[in-house]
């Protein structure tokens, strides 16, 4: 059970209602370059994007044949990072983060 909203007034022993729905996030062209919280709400002081779909956060990985074979570099705009440690687009990147969060995995 995960509380996805305020828990004010919540007490032990209260009834809870399962929605049965997975946690979803907005996806699509209109979400590129935007920032969202864990609920999928925009936090960049811009209006909610229109024409987006919602996908569950837990789903199977794409098939190998569906993945791109092209290598493209991710330009971070940070000259030191782009020169000394360039990153490839399409993978998971641990660039910034606190100690012990998995940047070197």
pLDDT of residue 1: 66
Residue ranges per domain, the chain? Answer: 24-59+69-88
Nearest CA among 51, 48, 54, 55 for reference residue 29: 51
Which is nearest to 75 in space by CA: 91, 67, 86?
A: 86
What is this structure's pTM? 0.53
Q: pLDDT by residue (tens digit) across 39-83? A: 888 999 999 899 899 999 888 888 888 877 788 888 888 898 889
pLDDT band per the 50, 70, 90 thresholds, residue 4: confident
pLDDT of the residue at 42: 92
Quote the CA–CA distance of 100 and 13 in Å, as a whole number.
36
Q: Per the structure block, which two tokens stand in for 59?
A: 């789903």
């Amino acid at each position: 059970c995960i509380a996805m909203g305020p828990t004010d007034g919540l007490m032990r022993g209260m009834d809870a209602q399962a929605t049965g729905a997975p946690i979803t996030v907005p996806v699509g062209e209109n979400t590129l370059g935007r920032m969202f919280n864990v609920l999928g709400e925009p936090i960049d002081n811009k209006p909610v994007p229109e024409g987006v779909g919602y996908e569950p956060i837990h789903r199977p990985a794409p098939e190998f044949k569906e993945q791109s074979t092209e290598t493209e570099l991710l330009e971070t705009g940070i000259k030191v990072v782009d020169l000394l440690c360039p990153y490839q687009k399409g993978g998971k990147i641990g660039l910034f983060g606190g100690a012990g969060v998995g940047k070197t995995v």
